[in-house]
């Protein structure tokens, strides 16, 4: 019924009458009797109820999730400078002494860890939203986070300084550096987890926004394919860089490109986060 009436995971109480959904005690108290009378009149006149939810109900106002939106958002999130820089430095530390097979194995382990961290994080957050019925609140929080993080990211670019507010903290860089120097399979896996953990502040607003949109009208089972799709797209640049380095492109060259274009990447990410946040708020507010 929630899916049919587009109420999302609205929690309880909810009353469905004809083409209307009354969500929450206030709406039920205020509109229950009038909706009953309206439905009685419709039945007496044999009128077909409108499939849309009336203004007294709870509507998504045209805001919807699609594979295209998921892919676009994941591509924007995949420009995450935190995860990319950790991978490049890891490959730099071992490129001179290791063969191609070893590079692919280490890089693949790192990418797998990043993928699993983001996927499990998404499942955990989405499960909380689905079970609690707080999809609207979570969506609005996600939109607010996207707006705030987007503004901070743009402010970072405007400051034109070397250190960014939304970046891996100095304490985290020391810990990451120790694992980079080890350059082993276990170390690469731990690095992927650390990069996901410390780097979530870089572009996490995009992911949170998508999870908020998913939570509006999808169950965990329905949303799981979207989570898989998002995270597969998210790690594509990491896979691409690993393959480039393994097949002959010096990792220093990849790092130079990242360094030369990081402001453009951050500006694009900031604008996209602001746009997603605005879409969420405008969607809820109509």
Q: How many CB atoms lie under 10 A from the CB of residue 82?
A: 23
Closest CA to 63 of 246, 210, 162, 233: 210
pLDDT at 46: 66
What CA–CA distances, in Å, run from 246 to 126, 233, 239, 243, 258? Answer: 36, 20, 11, 5, 18
Orientation angle between helical segments 81-95 and 170-182, nearest 10 degrees: 30
pTM listed for this prediction: 0.69
Residue at 158 is within a domain: yes
Cα gap 10→132, rounded to integer Å: 9
Residues 229/74, Cβ–Cβ less than 8 Å:
yes
Residue at 80 is within a domain: yes
Do 157 and 123 lie in a common domain?
yes
Q: How many domains does the chain have?
A: 2
What's the domain range around 37? 2-45
Instruction: Indicate the DSSP class of residue 53.
Output: P
pLDDT of 56 over the 50 cut: no
pLDDT of 228 over the 90 cut: yes
Residue at 151 is within a domain: yes
Residue at 89 is within a domain: yes
Residue at 57 is within a domain: no
Do 24 and 73 lie in a common domain?
no
The H or E element containing residue 27 is helix 24-45
pLDDT at 6: 72
Residue at 55 is within a domain: no
């Amino acid at each position: 019924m929630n899916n049919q009436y587009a109420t999302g995971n609205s929690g309880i109480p909810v009353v469905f009458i004809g083409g209307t959904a009354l969500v929450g005690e206030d709406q039920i108290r205020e509109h229950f009797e009038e909706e009953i009378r309206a439905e009685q009149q419709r039945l007496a006149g044999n009128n077909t109820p409108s499939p849309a939810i009336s203004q007294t109900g709870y509507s998504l106002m045209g805001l919807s999730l699609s594979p295209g939106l998921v892919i676009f958002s994941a591509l924007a999130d995949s420009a995450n400078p935190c995860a990319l820089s950790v991978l490049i430095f890891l490959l730099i530390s071992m490129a001179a002494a290791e063969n191609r097979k070893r590079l692919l194995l280490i890089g693949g382990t790192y990418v797998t860890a990043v993928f699993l961290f983001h996927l499990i994080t998404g499942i955990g957050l989405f499960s909380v939203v689905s079970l609690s019925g707080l999809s609207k609140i979570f969506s609005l929080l996600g939109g607010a986070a996207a707006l705030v993080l987007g503004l901070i990211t743009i402010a970072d670019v405007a400051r034109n300084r070397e250190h960014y507010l939304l970046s891996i903290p100095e304490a985290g860089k020391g810990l990451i550096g120790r694992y980079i120097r080890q350059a082993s399979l276990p170390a690469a896996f731990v690095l992927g987890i650390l990069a996901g953990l410390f780097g979530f502040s870089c572009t996490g607003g995009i992911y949170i926004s998508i999870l908020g949109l998913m939570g509006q009208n999808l169950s965990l089972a329905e949303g799981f394919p979207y989570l898989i799709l998002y995270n597969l797209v998210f790690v594509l640049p990491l896979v691409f860089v690993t393959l480039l380095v393994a097949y002959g492109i010096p990792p220093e060259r990849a790092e130079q490109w990242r360094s030369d274009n990081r402001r453009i990447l951050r500006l694009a990410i900031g604008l996209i986060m602001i746009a997603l946040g605005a879409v969420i708020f405008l969607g809820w507010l109509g």
